[in-house]
A and B are shown apart, each in its own frame.
Chain A
Amino acid sequence: MSVAMDTRPVGDSAHPGTAGAPRGQVTQARVLHAEWIKLRTLRSTFWTLIGSVTALVGFGVLFCIISASRWPSMSAQEQHHFDPVQTNLRGYFLAQLAIGVLGVLMFSGEYATGMIRSSLTAVPRRLPVLWAKAALYAAVVWALMTAAALVAFLVGQGLLASRHIGVSLTDPGVARAVFGTGLYLTVVGLLGVAVGAILRNTAGGIATVFGVLLILPVLAEALPTSWNNAISPWLPSTAGQSLMAVHHVDHTLHPWPGFVLFCAYTLAALAGAAVLLKRRDA
């Protein structure tokens, strides 16, 4: 290869160690930029995010179409219990799977491929990598999922309006539920990032995140009812999902206290990830 012999330093500076152009330093903003490049240059990012938007919008619209068309044949009791917001936003249940998986992969994907060693060699203080990944992923998930929830809501309520069973964003609690969907999914994503950084393993990370979010509440049902009622409001997903409830459900926390608790669990996981990332050999 003819280019091989050209070994002169051709960078933006003179000889290293001598006075040259101002030398760039590692800053949080630069690490954020680097993480943005990493995130947008993996195909898995696109497919997973497209999957989560499709789940949220697709199922949201689908459930509204079904509800609208079946409305006349529903029993009075069914009609009484019909919750137009819950039905409309139920796609979040599938979307959280994609968001959680991609969150775990933010770190576990780097550990699986060895990329983490390049990342931590470039940023030996390490914590800026965790903060950048968490902040960036949270911003991306929040923007996409809030938009998707709004689209799902507007289209879905449009469909329900034909039966006069729709609601408006200005109705009490509705805006909180719609925007809460984006917020809940954002925190699910952050929990994934934290767990991925702690376990450094994709399969283990995914199993842990969904074990906590989906399996714990089901396990708790096996307890005597009084125990379950006492415990389940405090479980992370139950607490977080209370933000999306328009009407208060028995044995759940109030929307904002519940969501704050969910955030606290996630922050604790992030703090654990920070300590371990700093302390462990990469």
Chain B
Amino acid sequence: MIEAHALTKRYGARTAVSDLGFTVRPGAVTGFLGPNGAGKSTTMRMIVGLDSPTSGRVTVNGKQYAEHRAPLREVGAMLEARAVHTGRSAYHHLLALAATTGIPRRRVDEVVDLVGLREVARKRVGGFSLGMGQRLGIAGALLGDPATLVLDEPVNGLDPEGVLWIRTLLRDLAAEGRTVLLSSHLMSEMALTAEHLIVIGRGRLIADTSVEEFVRNASGHTVRVRSEEADRLRPLLAGPGVSVTSDERTVLIVSGISSDRIGRLAADEGIALAELVPQHASLEQAFMEMTRDAVEFQTPDAAMVDEEVAA
């Protein structure tokens, strides 16, 4: 369980995170979304105590990270894959981290195998590919067998096999009752991995919702209708709150009315439909729709609108 209360971080005049509040619950993979510079990494750094908040607080399992006596066993974090000395081997890097908390050598071997780095574990990290670096970062996060995982862009640089591996791994870890928070800029990846979403823009909370609901709310519920008799159907659909657009003669894009209703109206009038397809926005579109505001609000008089979004 990760809880943030009124979390704020300022670097000089720049506010990276502003009055952010959210709860990451165990048992599910929670995605942490936001455009570049939204404050995701800053928030994650505050979770593990690398940066201290200007005001507000964030706790892990009820305590601030630094107050835990055995932090590696409480929280596994991978904030940047390259938080490793390039001159040291992967194995010795993990061994040194493990030693701080008295984690046995056996566990180091286990995580090395778990992330598939056995063959290169004795090689210096400087020669690692981006994907190997990510795997090492994940190994470090898993070292203490923690109940909470915080991972910043873990799929970055992984090949498709690696992406599938991390997706399965994270879902399994969550299924075991762990708290998993991961950030990603790949919305499509979030749709496959996360069940819950925390979306931030310009350091403020935009949404704290399930993936399903996020897509449902963000998509406009349009229906694509194709018919040779589109001209005849179009006036029948008219009504309050209904809009119909058309790019092609035979295709109507309808919003404000369900596909069931459109189908019935067409049937009543004996209009043959070639297509009747509810359009769901992809997570990618939904995300861009929602964060477009956060980007556009970068004007001096943004404060008021900003608050509406945060609310």
Contact = CB atoms under 8 A, between A and B. Distances in A.
Interface string B98-121: 011111101100100110100000
Given A9-B176, A121-B77, A281-B51, A115 B83 contact: yes
A31 B82 CA distance: 21
B1 to A, nearest CB: 10
Interface residues of B, number: 58
Interface string B75-93: 0010110111111110011
A75 interface: no
B82 A113 contact: yes
Contact of B96 (A1, A37, A113): A37
B102 A30 contact: yes
B154 to A, nearest CB: 14
A13 B103 contact: no
Contacts of A10: 107, 110, 114, 145
A73 interface: no
B220 interface: no
Contacts of B276: none
A220 B178 CA distance: 63
**Interface-central residue, A25, A31, A122, by most chain B CB under 10 Å:** A122
Nearest to B87: A42
A278 to B, nearest CB: 10
A4 B116 contact: yes
A37 B93 CA distance: 9
Given A7-B173, A26-B69, A113-B85, A37 B99 contact: yes
Interface string A145-161: 00000000000000000
A51 interface: no
B45 interface: yes
B82 A114 contact: yes
A23 B70 contact: yes
Contacts of A109: 85, 87
A81 interface: no
Contacts of B48: 121, 124
Interface stretch (B161-169, B196-204, B287-295): B161-169
A38 B71 contact: no
Given A9-B145, A23-B70, A37-B95, A110 B51 contact: no
A3 B116 contact: yes
B176 to A, nearest CB: 7
Interface string A15-54: 1110000011111001101110110011110000000000
Question: Which 10 A-B pairs give the minimum distances between C-beta atoms?
Answer: A24-B102, A11-B145, A16-B147, A124-B66, A34-B99, A41-B92, A1-B116, A7-B172, A115-B85, A117-B83
